[in-house]
Structure 1
Amino acid sequence: MTLAGCEGALSVVDPAGPAAREIATLWWVLLAGATLIFALVMVLTALPFLRRGGPGSERHRIRTWVIGLGLAFPMAVLAALLAYGLVIGERLLPRAGDEVVEVAATGSRDGWTFTYPDAADRTTSAVLHIPAGRPLDVAITTKDVIHSFWVPRLAGKLDAIPGHVNILRIEADAPGTYRGLSAEFSGPGYGDLTFTVTAHDAAAWTAFLAGEP
């Protein structure tokens, strides 16, 4: 029952693309590091109830557990997690490439609209069309207040800020349908600002660019 929330269309630990996979791996690594530190804290908490020996052995125990492991071990784990997080963050940055598709996403209180420069600036509402197996850069902005573009199974979330464009790299491993949502409070009814990402195979993507429904 505890793991029931790890499945589903909005699960961040059920990735369906390379960016989401990197984020899910980072989450598991952070969880493992936090678990190690928590276990050590529990051991240090239990030590006062297990005191044995004279004052000399007590001082040695304090020096070994509290100063050695109580400080050195958490600092080493946190430093390793920080370094790993920076590496993952660098991998998630969008990079130019010949195979990268570009789409503009505009958020508003009325919903999300998407424009496709490669399809003569064709526009869709509430449905983002992408090619499967190819990286896609989403240029995110908003007409009114701050929103947040998020497709949990494909990538991390990124804010849509008025007057500014943020770029998010997403990619789907295979054709399919993925749920997206606005993850930033933007007023009453913001929970309904959802959208769908449809990943097409090569033939369907070509047909979409040609203007077919």
Structure 2
Amino acid sequence: MPGEGGAAQDRFGRGIHGFILTCVAALASAGCKGPQSMLDPAGPSAHAIALVWWWMFGVFCVVLVGVTVAWLLAMRSRRSWAPGDAERAGRRWIVGGGIVLPSVAVAALLIFGSSAGLHQLPLPGGQAASLRIDAIGHQWWWEIHYPDAGTSLRNEMRIPVGRPVDVHTQSRDVIHSFWVPRLGGKLDAIPGRTLVVRLQADAPGVYRGQCAEFCGLGHAHMVMTVRAMPADDFDAWMRTQKGAP
């Protein structure tokens, strides 16, 4: 059987391997891009959400490294404890690591996350007036309605670049969840209720939306396309829709 020295070396090796895997995961996540990646934001609301995620990930890495280093040092320590010292040290770890550290982390996350959450709300003010669009969930498709133009689209939303869009979510059957990851946060569509989330696109492009709440057998196919258009092109399109029968 291996001695204490061999066991300590094995634990040290596992700790190093875990640290390396964490670093590799961090590098891999830094390259996360794609039509539904919240780490590839394309609007102010999505940028705020991504920033919170990166701060959380950074704090997690710092805590993980700190705990790993403390554990490795403890495993390699040959200190002999006097009577009562181990118990006092254990209490300090419980208070510091089990009460103080989580309390500070949760409070900081609450403060930081609340400010980011303001970007998702339809607050008054800003340089451009917001546009209202109704997103109505059905099993298993999205009805996108423009009250100002009196027209509706199926599984397609068109928005102007650089202008806030207040999406009013509703549902005609079960609970759905409206989410365009690269443009903002997600919001449930609940029967009998209307909820509002604000989106905005920084640049023209095509973005993918997805129902983020399991709503039945066709849930995986309940997707939509969001087309962000230059403001002039969007205004011209809206005029054609107002004149449509």
Is 1:93 matched up with 2:125? no
Is 1:76 matched up with 2:107? no
Deviation at 1:189, TM superposition (A): 1.5
Q: 2:207 aligns with which of 157, 171, 178?
A: 178
Deviation at 1:64, TM superposition (A): 10
Residue equivalent to 1:132: 161
CA distance in 1, matches of 2:235, 2:79: 77
Structure (1/2) with the larger strand percentage:
1
Q: 1:196 aligns with which of 210, 215, 225?
A: 225
List gaps (5 residues or longer) in structure 2: 1-23
Do the aligned residues in 2 keep the contact of 1:158 with 1:166 (CA within 8 Å)?
A: yes
TM-score (norm: length of structure 1): 0.88
Task: Check 1:125–1:107 CA distance in 2 against 1; reply closer, same or farther (3 A cut).
Answer: same
Q: CA RMSD in A?
A: 2.6
Deviation at 1:75, TM superposition (A): 3.4
The superposition leaves residues 37-82 of structure 1 with CA deviations (integer Å, 9 ceiling, x where unpaired) of 2223323433442333443599399379726753534433332222
Aligned residues: 212
Do the aligned residues in 1 keep the contact of 2:119 with 2:198 (CA within 8 Å)?
A: no
Q: 1:26 aligns with which of 42, 46, 52?
A: 52
Residue equivalent to 2:63: 37
List gaps (5 residues or longer) in structure 1: none
Do the aligned residues in 2 keep the contact of 1:106 with 1:113 (CA within 8 Å)?
A: yes
Deviation at 1:85, TM superposition (A): 1.4
Q: Determine which structure has more spread, i.e. the larger CA radius of gyration.
A: 2
Residue identity in the other structure for 2:109: L
The superposition leaves residues 82-135 of structure 1 with CA deviations (integer Å, 9 ceiling, x where unpaired) of 22112222343221346100011101014101111221x111111101111000
Task: Check 1:15–1:59 CA distance in 2 against 1; reply closer, same or farther (3 A cut).
Answer: same
Deviation at 1:180, TM superposition (A): 0.5
Residue identity in the other structure for 2:133: V
